[in-house]
Amino acid sequence: MDWTEKRVLVTGAGGFIGSHLTERLVDHGADVRAFVRYNSRNDPGLLRLLPGERLDRVRILMGDLRDADAVRSAVRDVDVVFHLGSLIAIPYSYARPRETVETNVLGALNVFEAARDAGVEKVVHTSTSEVYGTARYVPIDEDHPLQGQSPYSASKIGADKVAESFYRSFDVPIATIRPFNTYGPRQSARAVIPTIITQALVQGKVARRGTTPTSTTWCVRFSLSPSRREQSGRRSTSDRTTRSRSGPSPRRLHPSWRRRSRSSPRADACGRRRARSSGSGATTPGQSASLAGLRLCPWKKGFCERLHGFGNTWASISPTTT
């Protein structure tokens, strides 16, 4: 798929992942609209860190996801919607559960309704590993129960189910992805991976939390090139893949979510690396999507993000523990 002049809306574009996705889409010639929550400073968030020549090619739209008219105006005449906007702070959700639910559930509803009415080609809805709560077993797979352990996780479960209902009821081409511990440049230093890195650099040791070490990987990869399976025209109709996502053509899980061999501590072709983590280890399959975003992995300089071309593809998620 050629992204040149493709009209794309990114909600939550001022955030960590959203700003990287916006930058990459611009690099590939897309006509990008960045939906950013309004503030009196006219601050576009982390988009301000983009090089000037890239930022000049982004149309920044200020608004609020809870405002249906603002969302409808942003979605009008776009081809693709990447919905990343949400209130993501778990502690804040305890203090402001209503605001969290209104933004994450009603905001998602506004996006999906606008996308349905506008007839967009694809909606990629970004969920979270928090919907699984504390792991009942590891590695987590798509059969794992959803657990609303915080107002935030409950709100994301609600948004996921609204996405599923729009696919099933209205045939809206929605794909849901559930990243785990994504990390990299522009991320808040309060997040778990930057905290671990800071502890290692400053204290020379890392505080262990939890009692069950697991072998997982630190990688979120949304590949943008057609998979071999899709290129060969093979398809699977496994119902198992639909339980943590909705999408126009469910397929069998991509094998890259499976735990890496314990005898292979180095990286594979995707730059993944075996890691020893504490706590409730989690690996979950990702979303088969017609579009995709970026790949984050810890190998080589601690971070890399790449796009692999565009088209129908696999998007695999290989998370760390929290």
Q: Please check whether residue 192 is in contact with residue 129, taking contact to mean a CB–CB distance below 8 angstroms.
A: no
Average the pLDDT over 177-204 and give the result: 89
Long-range contacts of 98-106 (CB under 8 A, 24+ apart): 100/151, 100/152, 100/155, 101/151, 101/154, 101/155, 101/158, 102/66, 103/65, 103/66, 103/155, 104/152, 104/155, 104/156, 104/158, 104/159, 105/155, 105/158, 105/159, 105/162, 106/65, 106/66
Residues sharing a CB contact under 8 Å with residue 79, sequence separation 6 or more, in sequence order: 6, 7, 8, 120, 121, 122
Give 170-179 pLDDT, tens digit per residue.
999 999 999 9
Counting Cβ atoms within 10 Å, is residue 95 exposed (0-12), middle (13-18) or buried (19+)? exposed
Res. 255: pLDDT tops 50: no
| E-only strand ranges, 6-121 | 7-11, 31-37, 58-63, 80-83
Residue 281's pLDDT band (cuts 50, 70, 90) = very low
- Tokens (6 digits) for 253: 């899980």
The residue from 132, 152, 167, 183 that is catalytic is: 152
Q: Which residues of 222-238 are buried (b: 16+ CB within 10 A; e: fewer)?
A: bbbbbbebbeeeeeeee
In the chain, domain spans:
7-185+213-318
Q: Is the pTM of this model over 0.95?
A: no
- Domain 7-185+213-318 class, CATH top level: alpha beta
Distances (CA, A) of 96 to 72, 85, 152, 246: 26, 17, 10, 29
Res. 269: pLDDT tops 80: no
Mean pLDDT estimate for the chain: 74
Q: Which residues of 34-64 are buried (b: 16+ CB within 10 A; e: fewer)?
A: bbbbeeeeeebbbbeebeeebbebbebbbbb
192 SS3 class: helix
Distances (CA, A) of 229 to 1, 20, 142, 306, 317: 17, 28, 21, 21, 18
Residues sharing a CB contact under 8 Å with residue 60, sequence separation 6 or more, in sequence order: 13, 34, 36, 44, 47
- Tokens (6 digits) for 44: 């576009």
Whether 152 is catalytic is yes
Output the pLDDT for position 98.
Answer: 98
Residue 276's pLDDT band (cuts 50, 70, 90) = very low
**Residue 74's closest CA among 5, 19, 120?**
120
Torsion of CA 89, 95, 99, 102, to 10 degrees: 80
Which amino acid belongs to residue 202?
Answer: V
Q: Please check whether residue 159 is in contact with residue 104, taking contact to mean a CB–CB distance below 8 angstroms.
A: yes
Give 146-176 pLDDT, tens digit per residue.
999 999 999 999 999 999 999 999 999 999 9
Give 135-146 pLDDT, tens digit per residue.
999 999 889 999
User: Which helix (H) or strand (E) element contains residue 1?
Assistant: none
Output the pLDDT for position 209.
Answer: 63
